[in-house]
Amino acid sequence: MVATQCLVVVQPYASLIAFGCKRWEFRSYESKKMGKIGIAASNVGPWPTRNLELNKISYLFPRGVVLATAHLVASFFVTSEDLKKKLTSPVQINLHGYSIVTCGEPIGEPLEDINKAAADRNWHSFAWVLEDVKPLKRPVSFERDGRSTWVTVDIE
């Protein structure tokens, strides 16, 4: 077991990272951390998306566990214009036994959400770029104090 800094992400986005094609995690600030991290599914309820099908099932996705490891390799400012340039054809992915349609890599989020953000001239965020994402063979539970972005967990 190795103590690993894990990025806490709400569902369904944690699973979209761990098992899908989401390689940009959007945050309101730039990351100062780089290197190998874990992807931890927050223990709070799922975040609603504009995709009604995904909302119906995301409450079934695991929470309070580390789902994957990844390398956080960059963090940069993005605007709605940047999103438009990265829009791809829809892709079908499998999340916990459910078939979901999302925007392809690197965005990997529901098309309805990305189209809305791309149409909003005021939308902006920081993209935290994740590479070499590997799902864990078995999720690892964690305890979290408060609403911090990071949690340290012993994972293999």
CATH code (residue 142) = 2.30.130.30
CA 117 to chain centre: 16
For 47, which DSSP code?
Answer: P
- Give the Cα separation of 74 and 71 in Å (integer): 9
- With respect to residue 155, please indicate whether it lies within any of the assigned structural domains: no
pLDDT in tens, 68-86: 999 999 999 999 999 999 9
CA 137 to chain centre: 18
- With respect to residue 154, please indicate whether it lies within any of the assigned structural domains: no
Residue ranges making up the domain that contains 109: 2-148
Residue 144: the pLDDT is 75
- With respect to residue 153, please indicate whether it lies within any of the assigned structural domains: no
Residue 20: the pLDDT is 81
Residue 145: the pLDDT is 66
- With respect to residue 66, please indicate whether it lies within any of the assigned structural domains: yes
- With respect to residue 142, please indicate whether it lies within any of the assigned structural domains: yes
Length of the chain: 156
Closest CA to 134 of 155, 112, 117, 113: 155
- Give the Cα separation of 20 and 96 in Å (integer): 10
- Give the Cα separation of 77 and 94 in Å (integer): 29
- With respect to residue 114, please indicate whether it lies within any of the assigned structural domains: yes
- Give the Cα separation of 90 and 102 in Å (integer): 5
- With respect to residue 131, please indicate whether it lies within any of the assigned structural domains: yes
> Which range is most confident: 62-66, 85-89, 91-95, 145-149?
62-66
Mean pLDDT, residues 113-142: 96
Structural domains in the chain (count): 1
Is residue 134 scored above 80 in pLDDT?
yes
